[in-house]
A and B are shown apart, each in its own frame.
Chain A
Amino acid sequence: MPRRERSARWLAVAVGVGATAAVLSPLATMDADSFPISSYPMFARPRGQPTLYAVVARTGDGSERRLAPSWLGSSEVLQAKVLIQRSVEQGPEATRALCNSVAQRIAEAPDTAELRSVEIVRRRYDPVAYFVDGPEPIEQQRVERCAVPRAASAKRSRK
């Protein structure tokens, strides 16, 4: 076999087998999640009773409105989830900043006059019980609350 062809074959084997080995490499640790090499942990781990963070809005009568990820500046639900969680983990300043930025977006949006405040809440659920028994969280806590600025200014102008 000509030397050039032999080299080309070795290179081909190195590329293909190397790429396959790279994809299989997370089997060694199972903790490494990256891109484009992943341990695909998303459906693998037991969920238990997960704690979820959410950003919600409250109307004047105290009822709750869920806010879509776009209010957080993201078009992706998973990214919105991580954005809230990171803000909470970073402490009160980051949480307040996130709360205020959502409140500001609400204030600037049309048809949101009934929304008076924004809350970041932490809730723990039993996922199966949520659908079988009812959607009540096992426990919940308000992490941050901020007023929608337009609501505050309207109040001042009424005075």
Chain B
Amino acid sequence: MNGAGDTSFGRRFWAWYSPPTPRERLQLLRFAVGGYALIYLLSRAVHLNAVVGLPASSFAPVGVVRWLDAPLAAGWVYALYAASVVSGAAFTFGVLYRASAPLFGLLLLWVLSYRHSWGMIFHTDNLLVLHVLLLAPAPAGGNPWLASAASESANGDTGYGWVPRAMGLVTVAAYVVAGVAKLEHTGWSWAAGGALREQVAYDAIRKIELGSTYSPLGAWLVTQAWVFAPLSAFSLATELLAPLALVGTRAALIWCACAWSFHAGVLALMAIAFPYPLSGCAFLPLFPLERSLPWLRRRWPRLARPRRAPAVASDAPGA
């Protein structure tokens, strides 16, 4: 059996699937995605641990938590959360990466799955978990600010270009699934605007009835029926045309701007935040981040001064 890359098709596929990718891109991705995840875990500490006070009757396990018959004891919830924060800090700063990265990926998956096992799945976290898990096997430890001139001049390919590619693929796939779901449940008439108008109205009522914050802009726009057709068509097109982001950097930039605008619109009209894409971190795997390094090094020159000999070369699996 030929290996991936041995045949003509295989070679072309591999060249697309794993383009030359320097370590610095992986490190910057790790820093951005890990930093986002760490801040998210810390800022949501109360929310993530509030499950210890919810009635056991509300426990509806999803994903990897399904094998649990009953909720965990409070001590386990706190301990696993604390472990996720510690491993998340190690992941973000590239410390003991070969161990901390898979550990953090699994703990993040567990902590968020457990939180979503109490009646409501928050889809805003899906891509974050998948991205952290996909980054785990990459040689992304160490400090990107400390990269040697030699590695830059050689544009040293790590052989792990498939990691950002896979992150981009799952990002695009998630949007396509969301778009197809609309067609499956409502049909192409979703683009006509009625379904979105109904959704915005429903979301506002639900929040008003439950005494929560709702979007006054969305509530007002429900009275302006005409606006929903263009908004719906734009949303559906953004989701279904997501694969175009894989064509090249310029196409990715245009699609990311559309996707970001889509999420900004959801926030404005329904007060529902998708913080991972809104922060921009969800779209970073689609771009050659290492090109920003000269600017980053000028902006934060202190980070480029090594405190001690870096050990960035030892974290590649199998190294």
Which residues of A pack against B, CB within 8 Å? 1, 4-10, 12-13, 15-17, 19-20, 23-24, 26-27, 30, 33-48, 50, 52, 54, 66-69, 71, 73-83, 86-87, 90, 94, 97, 123, 125, 127-128, 130-132, 135
Contact = CB atoms under 8 A, between A and B. Distances in A.
Interface stretch (B68-76, B86-94, B140-148, B174-182): B174-182
- Chain A interface secondary structure, helix, strand, loop or mixed? helix
Given A12-B18, A81-B210, A46 B178 contact: no
A30 B210 contact: no
B44 to A, nearest CB: 9
Contact of B58 (A7, A47, A86): A86
Nearest to B173: A23
Contacts of A38: 121, 123, 126, 174, 177
Contacts of A37: 63, 126
Contact of B134 (A5, A15, A77, A128): A15
Interface string B184-223: 1110001000011111011011111111100000011011
Interface stretch (B109-117, B149-157, B251-259): B109-117
B127 to A, nearest CB: 8
B200 to A, nearest CB: 8
B181 A35 contact: no
Interface of B: 3-6, 14, 17-18, 46-47, 50, 53-55, 57-58, 62-63, 109, 112-113, 116, 118-123, 125-127, 129-130, 133-134, 137, 159-160, 162-163, 165-166, 169-170, 173-174, 176-178, 180-182, 184-186, 190, 195-199, 201-202, 204-212, 219-220, 222-223, 318
Nearest to A65: B211
Contacts, number: 213
Given A44-B186, A73-B53, A24 B223 contact: no
Given A30-B184, A30-B185, A79 B119 contact: yes
Contacts of B127: 36
